[in-house]
């Protein structure tokens, strides 16, 4: 174990209100040594007031300093690092992705207006980069030699890249044959030791957690609070893009539940500081075959209701035992949020609709649009969702991570239980390609093409 003593004003605090023990931020901790619950990083509020900070962020957006170019480090007053750490930051200009209108999706779901923020347009193609820049910076600071993660693909891609930049050894544990090819290619390309494990993500996660407890492997999954700290800046960047006008609702996919948890935490801080006067309702959407948070909520269970054989084609959220479920519940409570599930069919059609807006994404990201459609249909009794609501959907991953999915959909060849050809589980339940755009085969016949195109 690496212990670094610190005099910093930041500290870990156990999220369990009956415990709430505090620990030195320089320790290599992921959970409370006393009660094993999750940890938060507690930070003193920034020295500047909201007006001054907003002006500072505005100025930095025009700066050429790499720390200011990064949409994570641009908001460094909200990060658990000190001035003297800033010389060692591992950054690749994360964030800076636009908020885009999606008129076809708005019509599809029944909203008057819908906008998306595409976190897939990041250095390694997913939102994971927001948290990896801070976690790898912390790993370096702790003097870690080897860092590791279990991953459904994007965490490993991001970790591998940032570790390559930092000169750290990276080990990724991925469930064999169950991650999208684009993601696998990334961790290989960035030089990470890639261990393909028999079993699913939850098995890999359990194993790497034990290893990091027993050895000096530094764990980079989202149980590591430094990941969530970086991801919080998604909300700061989004709010700044909206001129600090808080939307009514932010919709996000739920897998290991780190992303939604980080949003809840920063919103609590911003509200307390008077940065914002209202809080957007965080709406978490899970795939119906991998819905442990949803099951926990509908059964009002005090403990997580895991899904042992979690299953979905949206491999980024194929997780049955999400680590941050308690923080996700806290987010839902604080933001008066909502959690729902969508089917494979709903995900596939929502993704195709995003495509018609010119926006590609991973299947997991499309749960947001699918979830909104479902919420609008549920009507006023279950959920009060107004067509005038100001909604932002968070798209989490790049379309090219998983092109197999998209091509199979448009070839009308997407099957619920066929992920990759070398890992056919069983072929059951074909997904209907409602918006199929099949390629046409045609000879090099000019006349025919002119007739076809009605030119």
Ligand X SMILES: *Cc1c(COP(=O)(O)O)cnc(C)c1O
Q: Based on CB atoms, which residue is closest to ligand X, 220 or 316?
A: 316
Residue 53 or 290: the one with the smaller Cβ distance to ligand X is 290
Q: How far is the CB of 305 from ligand X (least distance, A)?
A: 17
Contact of 364 with 344, CB cutoff 8 Å: no
Residue nearest to ligand X (CB): 397
Partner from Zn ion, ligand X, none binding residue 305, C-beta < 5-8 Å depending on class: none
Task: Report in angstroms how near the CB of residue 241 gets to ligand X at its nearest.
Answer: 20
- To the nearest 10 degrees (0 to 180), the angle between helices 233-241 and 258-273 is 60
Q: Rounded to the nearest whole angstrom, what is the least distance from the CB of residue 21 to Zn ion in the complex?
A: 5
Per-residue burial over 209-236, b = 16 or more CB atoms within 10 Å of its CB, e = otherwise: bebbeeeebbbbbbbbbbbbbbbbbbbb
Report the C-alpha gap between 255 and 150 in whole angstroms: 13
Work out how close the CB of 91 gets to ligand X at its nearest, in angstroms, rounded to a whole number: 19
Work out the angle at residue 166's Cα, subtended by the Cα atoms of residues 161 and 170, and round it to the nearest 5 degrees: 55
The distance of closest approach from Cβ of residue 453 to ligand X in the complex, given in angstroms and rounded to an integer, is: 36
Nearer to ligand X, 26 or 289 (CB): 289
**Token pair in block for residue 150:** 């279990």
Residues 6+ apart with CB under 8 A from 443: none
Among 14, 106, 139, 313, binds Zn ion (CB under 5 A): 14
- For ligand X, the closer of residues 109 and 132 by Cβ is 132
Cα dist from 222 to 20, 87, 219, 266, 432, whole Å: 20, 24, 9, 16, 34
Question: Is 192 strand, coil or helix?
Answer: coil
Q: Residue 35 binds which entry of ligand X, Zn ion, none, with Cβ cut-offs from 5 to 8 Å by kind?
A: Zn ion
What the block records as the tokens of 302 is 């005090």
Among 10-18, 83-91, 251-259, 274-282, which window interacts with Zn ion (CB under 5 A)? 10-18
Angle at alpha carbon of residue 103, lines to 98 and 107, rounded to 5°:
140
Cα–Cα distance between 175 and 152 in angstroms, integer? 7
Shortest spacing between CB 381 and ligand X, in angstroms: 28
Choice between 102 and 365, CB closer to ligand X? 365
Whole-number minimum distance, CB 326 to Zn ion, in Å? Answer: 12
Decide whether 20 or 430 has the Cβ nearer to Zn ion.
Answer: 20
Nearer to ligand X, 222 or 232 (CB): 222
320 binds, among ligand X, Zn ion, none (CB under 5 to 8 A by kind): none
Biggest distance spanned by C-alpha atoms of the chain:
78
Q: Which is nearer to ligand X, 108 or 130 (CB)?
A: 130
Q: Which spans of this chain sit near ligand X (rule: CB under 6 A)? A: 126, 128, 154, 222, 253-259, 316-317, 362, 364-365, 396-397
Residue 16 interacting partner from ligand X, Zn ion, none (CB closer than 5 to 8 Å by kind): Zn ion
Smallest distance from ligand X to CB 445, Å: 42
Residue 225: contacted member of Zn ion, ligand X, none (CB under 5 to 8 Å, by partner type): none
Residue 128's nearest CA partner among 7, 28, 6, 262 is 262
Nearer to ligand X, 120 or 280 (CB): 120
Q: Which does 362 bind (CB under 5 to 8 A by kind): ligand X, Zn ion, none?
A: ligand X
CA–CA distance, 191 with 105 (Å, rounded to integer)? 38
Q: Residue 23, interface with Zn ion (CB under 5 A)?
A: no
Contact between 350 and 313 (Cβ < 8 Å): no
Nearer Cβ to ligand X (26/255) = 255
What the block records as the tokens of 272 is 């307390």
34 binds, among ligand X, Zn ion, none (CB under 5 to 8 A by kind): Zn ion
Strand partners, 340: 285
197-203: long-range pairs with CB below 8 Å, 24+: 197/173, 199/175, 200/175, 200/309, 200/310, 200/318, 200/320, 201/150, 201/151, 201/152, 201/175, 201/310, 201/318, 201/319, 201/320, 202/306, 202/310, 202/319, 202/320, 202/321, 203/175
Report the b/e string of 266-289 with b at 16+ CB within 10 A. Answer: bbbbbbeeebbeebbbbbbbbbbb
Binding window for Zn ion (CB under 5 A); candidates: 15-23, 62-70, 151-159, 206-214: 15-23
316 binds, among Zn ion, ligand X, none (CB under 5 to 8 A by kind): ligand X
Contact pick of 6, 8, 10, 19 for Zn ion (by CB under 5 A): 19
Residues touching Zn ion, count (CB under 5 A)? 7
Please, which residue, 175 or 255, has the CB nearer to ligand X?
255
424 binds, among Zn ion, ligand X, none (CB under 5 to 8 A by kind): none
> x-or-dash pattern for Zn ion, window 26-55, by CB under 5 A?
------x-xx-x------------------
What are the residues binding Zn ion (CB under 5 A)? 14, 16, 19, 32, 34-35, 37
């Amino acid at each position: 174990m690496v212990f670094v003593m610190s005099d910093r004003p930041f500290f870990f605090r156990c999220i369990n209100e009956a415990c709430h023990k505090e620990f030195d931020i320089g320790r290599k901790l992921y959970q409370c040594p006393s009660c094993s619950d999750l940890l938060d990083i507690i930070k003193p509020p920034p020295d500047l007031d909201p007006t001054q900070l907003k002006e500072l962020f505005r100025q930095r957006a025009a700066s050429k300093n790499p720390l200011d170019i990064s949409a994570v480090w641009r908001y460094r007053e909200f990060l658990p690092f000190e001035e003297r750490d800033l010389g060692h930051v591992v950054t690749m200009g994360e964030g800076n992705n636009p908020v885009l209108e999606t008129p076809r999706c708005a019509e599809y779901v029944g909203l008057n207006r819908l906008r998306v923020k595409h976190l897939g347009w990041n250095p390694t193609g997913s939102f994971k980069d927001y948290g990896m820049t801070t976690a790898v910076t912390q790993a370096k600071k702790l003097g870690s030699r080897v860092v590791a993660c279990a991953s459904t693909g994007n965490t490993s891609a991001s970790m591998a890249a940032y570790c390559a930049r930092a000169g750290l050894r990276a080990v990724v544990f991925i469930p064999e044959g169950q991650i999208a090819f684009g993601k696998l290619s990334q961790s290989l390309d960035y030089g990470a030791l890639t261990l393909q494990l028999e079993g699913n993500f939850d098995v890999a996660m359990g194993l790497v957690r034990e290893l990091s407890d027993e050895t000096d492997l530094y764990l980079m999954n989202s149980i590591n609070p430094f990941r969530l700290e970086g991801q919080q800046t998604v909300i700061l960047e989004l709010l700044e893009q909206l001129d600090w006008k808080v939307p009514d609702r932010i919709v996000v996919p739920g897998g290991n539940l780190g992303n939604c948890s980080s949003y809840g935490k920063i919103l609590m801080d911003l509200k307390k500081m008077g940065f914002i006067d209202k809080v957007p309702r965080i709406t978490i959407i899970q795939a119906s075959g991998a819905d442990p948070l949803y099951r926990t909520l509908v059964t009002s269970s005090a403990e997580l209701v895991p899904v042992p054989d979690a299953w979905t084609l949206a491999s980024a959220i194929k997780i049955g035992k999400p680590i941050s479920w308690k923080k996700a519940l806290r987010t839902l409570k604080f933001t008066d949020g909502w959690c729902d599930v969508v089917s494979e069919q709903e995900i596939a059609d929502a993704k195709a609709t995003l495509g018609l807006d010119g926006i590609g994404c991973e299947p997991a990201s499309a749960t947001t649009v699918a979830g909104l459609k479902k919420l609008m249909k549920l009507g006023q009794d279950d959920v009060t969702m107004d067509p005038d609501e100001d909604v932002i959907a968070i798209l989490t991953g790049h379309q090219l991570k998983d092109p197999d999915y998209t091509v199979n959909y448009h070839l009308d060849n997407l099957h619920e239980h066929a992920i990759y050809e070398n890992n056919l589980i069983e072929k059951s339940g074909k997904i209907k390609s409602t918006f199929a755009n099949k390629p046409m085969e045609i000879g090099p016949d000019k006349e025919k093409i002119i007739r076809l195109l009605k030119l």
